[in-house]
Amino acid sequence: MPLKVDLKNSASIAQSMELAYEHFGQIDVAVNNAGYGIGGAIEELSEQDILASFEVNVFGSIYVIQSVLPYMRKKRYGHIINISSIAGLAPHTGWSIYAATKSALIGLSDALAQDVKSMGIHVTVVAPGGFRTEFNTAESLVVADHKIADYFSLHDEIKKFEAKHGKQLVIQKKLPKFLSSWWNRTTRQLAYF
């Protein structure tokens, strides 16, 4: 059931969750997978770019969680899967804001897992490394327009990252199996690969 959702708008998310619930009669799993990369030195990035990154990469996930929890609490069952990034644990040169958003999602997930455990709701955060997606394309990356010459080595690292498009590992066939293996896991909910 495809739905158009504005991740920067909590009302849009709540409406889509309500439509999904009406259509399926229940919501067992919510996967927060939306996000994009933002590269550049902090002082090169605009306030607008930084805020937009947090709105999608962090607050969008929060709005989804807020919208889905009432349905899961009612059933005393559910699973929230938040897709973070290895950058939230081991950031790389040039991606400080992206790393901050993904680190926030990891911390949020760890605390949330404790908050909802007694209601039969599980929370898993997955922090994958690079694998073949459209992430390294202009549609998924924001790179600072304003370049400061002193950050030349940082700019070189970002160019190397962008050049990896199409050369990352192919693990898409393994990811669903990997996520399903975490379904009933009750220990620490952090997975990275």
Residues forming the active site: 84, 98, 102
Beta bridge mates, 30:
80
Beta bridge mates, 38:
142
CB half-sphere exposure, 54, CA atoms < 13 A: 10
Q: Phi/psi class of residue 3: alpha, beta or left (left: φ > 0; alpha: ψ in -120 to 50)? A: beta
Q: Give backbone dihedrals phi and psi of 170, rounded to 5 degrees, phi first.
A: -105, 105
Helix (H, G, I), strand (E, B) or coil at 95: coil
Beta bridge mates, 191:
126
